[in-house]
Structure 1
Amino acid sequence: MSDGAQKPPGPGCRAVDVVRGYADRDAIAVRDALTGLDAVAWQEMYAVLNGLLHSTVSIIEVTGTRWTTGQLVEHADEVATAAPPHYEFAVAEAARAWAGGDRSALSALPGRDPLGAVHVTAAFVAALGLVLWGRTRFLGVLTAYDETVAAIVDGRPSGL
């Protein structure tokens, strides 16, 4: 690689790309963000996504943002359309379970199906972000997340 060539984004930054793909309901962007990655990279992506999930939930708790189960389920159903068909139902079911107080649906997949855990968690982060910030503001938040992840995971300057 020459000095001028850029290295491709690592799994950490691609994790944010997957969330953005779900927020945009763009199945091609979701697929492209996962192309060429292996099980180790999926686990790294899941770790970043899990951090984004916890951050988003913490913001909801700290701000006291009110949302209804219907809002979360509606956004989850919308973003799930970007998932591969065999994960679309899992995304919708995990959102329904979580909204009903069952947090185990989001933590059950990593050991059994790392790629499924990536899809479900990314889609869920997108659904929560849409509930919390709305589409335009959430896409801005994802840009900030992307810069932060790049700085932490990939060792690139964040510009923050």
Structure 2
Amino acid sequence: MSDASHRTSYDAALDAVRSYTYGDAVAVREALAGLDARAWTEVYAVLSGLLRSTISIMELTGRHWNLDDLVRLSDEVSAAAPPHYEFAMAEATRAWARGDLSMMRAPSGRDVQGAVHMTAIGIAVLGLALWGRSGLLDVLEEFRATADALVHDHPTDA
């Protein structure tokens, strides 16, 4: 990422999820524009943490989803992705619904950009299924506030 933009990996990650939540392909593209290889990896790390947090919250609260809703939401949300990732997400979601987790994990090692898109879509889909749009947007703002507080309260001196 360019120093001039002052956007962090958290900004790019959360903006991508928010953009997918609204199904806004232009905003998705803008959220991830200008990332270099390192930044793509950092965005993926942020999204992976947010995905784990989302799943943990779901497990702790006992909230569940209907598989049909997840597949439908995945189709809707992934329509904002670049076409090759839209198709990959549709296939991965259907495989996951059948109990095959391999397609959800496959892109992270081979295609970081694909892993970023698929993880952002996954977070949006789970969040929409669990909390609806306004609830998911609230969670994203809390995550941003927490990340900002951690960065400002514990600057790296190394």
Q: Which has the higher helix share?
A: 2
Question: Quick one: which of 41, 45, 48 aligns to 2:46?
Answer: 48
Q: CA deviation at 1:30?
A: 0.6
Cα distance in 1 between the residues matched to 2:94 and 2:58? 17
1:7-22 equivalences under 5 Å are 8-22=6-20
User: Is 1:98 aligned to 2:100, yes or no?
Assistant: no
Which secondary structure does the structure 2 equivalent of 1:83 belong to? coil
Deviation per CA, 1:22-56, whole angstroms, max 9, x where unpaired?
Answer: 00101111101111101211111011101111111
Aligned to 2:79: 81
Specify whether residues 134 and 86 from structure 1 end up closer, same or farther in structure 2 by C-alpha distance, changes over 3 A only: same
The 10-residue stretch of structure 1 (16-25 or 59-68) with the greater mean CA deviation from structure 2: 59-68
In structure 2, runs of 5+ residues without a counterpart are: 154-158
Question: Quick one: which of 64, 86, 101 aligns to 2:62?
Answer: 64
Aligned to 1:34: 32
Deviation per CA, 1:69-92, whole angstroms, max 9, x where unpaired?
Answer: 101111111100110111101112
Structure 1: 4+ residue segments shifted above 4 A: none
Q: CA deviation at 1:104?
A: 2.4
Aligned to 1:107: 105
The 10-residue stretch of structure 1 (115-124 or 9-18) with the greater mean CA deviation from structure 2: 9-18
In structure 1, runs of 5+ residues without a counterpart are: 1-5
The 10-residue stretch of structure 1 (66-75 or 141-150) with the greater mean CA deviation from structure 2: 141-150
Cα distance in 2 between the residues matched to 1:125 and 1:98? 14
Aligned to 2:156: none
Number of aligned residue pairs: give it.
Answer: 150
Q: CA deviation at 1:156?
A: 3.7
Q: CA RMSD in A?
A: 1.6
Cα distance in 2 between the residues matched to 1:37 and 1:21? 16
TM score, norm. by length of structure 2 = 0.88
Kept after mapping to 2: 8 A contact 1:25/1:82: yes
Q: CA deviation at 1:7?
A: 5.7
Aligned to 1:3: none
User: Is 1:135 aligned to 2:140, yes or no?
Assistant: no
Q: Which residue identity is paired with 1:120?
A: M
Kept after mapping to 2: 8 A contact 1:16/1:146: yes
Cα distance in 2 between the residues matched to 1:39 and 1:48? 15
The 10-residue stretch of structure 1 (92-101 or 114-123) with the greater mean CA deviation from structure 2: 92-101
